[in-house]
Amino acid sequence: MIWFSEMILTNSNSKTLNSRQACRPAPWLWIIFNLSFGFILAGVAGKSVAAVLLNAELKRVEVGQQVEVYEDASGELTISELTQYSIPWQIHTDNVVNKGYSDSAWWIRFQVYNAGPVTDWLLQIAYPVLDDIQIYEVVDGQVRNQWQLGDKYPFAERNVENRNFVVPFLLPEKAQVQLLIRVHSSSSIQVPISFWQPLAFFEDDARNSWFQGGFFGALIIIAVYNLLLFLGLRDVVYLFYVGYVICMALFSAGIGGWAYQYLWPEEQLWNDRILLFVLTLTLFFGMAFSARFVVRFLSHRVNRLQSIAIAVSAVLVVLSLLIDYAQLIQWVVVFSVAVSAWAIFLGVVAWYRKIPAARWYTLSWGILACGVLLLGLSKYGFLPSNRFTNSAIQIGILLEVILLSFALAERIANERALRLRAQQRALEIQRLATLELETRVADRTRELQLANEKLQTLSDTDQLTQLGNRRYLEHFMSREIARAVRYSRVMAVFLIDIDHFKTINDEQGHLVGDDCLQEVALRISTVVRETDLVARYGGEEFCVVLLEPDSKRACDVAERIRRAISDTAINTRGGPVNLTVSIGCCVGIPQGDTPTQAYLEKADTELYHSKHQGRDCIHTAWLGADNSAASIT
């Protein structure tokens, strides 16, 4: 009778619901079948399944032995058929439904009773890599609520944003409902079900997030540190180790659901494939690291076997991108266990031969092997799935990378001790060479500074009058204007032009003109202070910059300059020459937006007025706040 029932339910993978309905027996035969089957089950089972009890005193309720399971080998059974037909449910005796790798769809059934008074709960399935989960809330044979979950669906569609599968579950006080859960996945079928009060769930999730943050943070710190070692030492063993640690972190994030939540929440196809890809890449980096760390000290035969293991790992990396997850994952898990055993064997042999740091290498792979073994046994259903078995590989990974870091640190210490004497000798030679080089560099630097100072002086000096040239004038004025703006101080600029100088050049020659320019420059310099500036502006024009004068003192200085030139004839090689000058003055307190050219333009305008008022005179203007000039003399 049982085989007949299974035949009706499963029939064939290619048949549809309509074809199964067509094969149903007559109603009277169906009644006899159900009665007979019910008596058989009552005699075989001899017990009933208790409902899952929810009450306010329990923050978390785990669903374990209160469930019944059914394997749908065809994967075509629907919820309507499940509630309509008599199904040979099997009472589950373990704390967690764990069926290992299976191509079948698995149905889970249990009753939930709420003793109250809390009515809001969260239903959690704490295994993030399940592909497809269908949850049905059934009341009086009718589906009242339905949820669709799984890592084959976009993360944004989840009812509660969490790495595990969580749905809000509302059950009134003193009410009882039936829950049916359908699970189908290419990964291991593990369905740890629990009910949480919302506050307790989020508190526990926050604590777990802190733990995971510390775990991933430690791996990242170790990876970055060893990457810096690689960049500094250029030893490829550190690069292999960095790749190994990063892949371990990504694999742990993938299998824990963190990667799907934070790294690629919209990439459902990539989520399955990346787990397999990262796992195989971890094996490749682990074998490459071992080859550089210990195997190169062993026999040629061991090195050849290690090369084969690396080649197989590389092939698996490529296959993980080409072959379906379900077809390859079991082989990869088996190869992972074999690789761990091989690494431990290498470590034992290296330890026996007293290869440096071999003991840390052996202990690290031994601890990881224990974690991988526990996870593998859990995946295949030989061990229960609980917090310890699910976290075993994370614990093993963290301890392994820490111990391998110790091994690398000891390796560095040994190599440093071997190089210490040679470094000390080389250091003394280098010190002497450096001292000599520094002396030469200092001497050369002083020579260059002197040369630069001479060049600077030449580039800023007018060769005829030995005054500052126009380039130096603009640099000086820019600096002093900024200082005058900062301290609100007055600044005066004179433009001085020799009257009828062209006539002197034309009638007495340019050499006489040069004598006149030199004497005018000398007489102007004797009038102003050392802190003021006298510069040759161009041709027969000179510029004087007075620092911190008032308008009266500026006019006095301008008058003294005019008289110093006009009162006494200038002795030249062509005889005495009487000269006069016209002066344009600009006096004022510069503002933040006052450019150098503002002073020069205003002074030039006043010089123009002096020329047109008969020459041998002074015209002065005050620079206003808007950079405009107002004549005052």
Count of domains observed in the chain: 3
Asked whether residue 223 falls in the same domain as residue 140, the answer is: no
pLDDT of residue 390: 65
Q: What is the CATH number of the domain that holds 93?
A: 2.60.40.2380
Beta carbons of 106 and 183 less than 8 angstroms apart: yes
Asked whether residue 270 falls in the same domain as residue 372, the answer is: yes
List pLDDT tens digits, range 608-623: 999 898 889 999 988 7
Asked whether residue 537 falls in the same domain as residue 602, the answer is: yes
Asked whether residue 124 falls in the same domain as residue 158, the answer is: yes
Asked whether residue 485 falls in the same domain as residue 525, the answer is: yes
Q: What domain range includes position 592?
A: 470-631
Asked whether residue 250 falls in the same domain as residue 397, the answer is: yes
For residue 192, which phi and psi values (nearest 5 degrees)? -80, 110
List pLDDT tens digits, range 470-486: 889 989 998 898 888 88
DSSP state letters, 181-238: EEEE-SS-EEE-EEEE-HHHHHHHHHHHHHHHHHHHHHHHHHHHHHHHHHHHH--HHH
Q: Which domain-ending residue is among 196, 227, 253?
A: 196
Asked whether residue 156 falls in the same domain as residue 258, the answer is: no
- The whole model's pTM is what? 0.55
pLDDT of residue 255: 84
Asked whether residue 271 falls in the same domain as residue 407, the answer is: yes
pLDDT of residue 268: 78
pLDDT of residue 3: 29
Domain contains 437: no
List pLDDT tens digits, range 247-303: 989 988 988 899 989 988 888 777 878 888 998 999 999 899 888 888 777 888 888
Closest residue by Cα to residue 533 from 622, 595, 462, 436: 462
Which residue ranges of the chain lie beneath pLDDT 50? Answer: 1-47, 627, 629-632
Residue 242 CB-half CA count within 13 A: 16
pLDDT of residue 385: 61
Asked whether residue 486 falls in the same domain as residue 346, the answer is: no
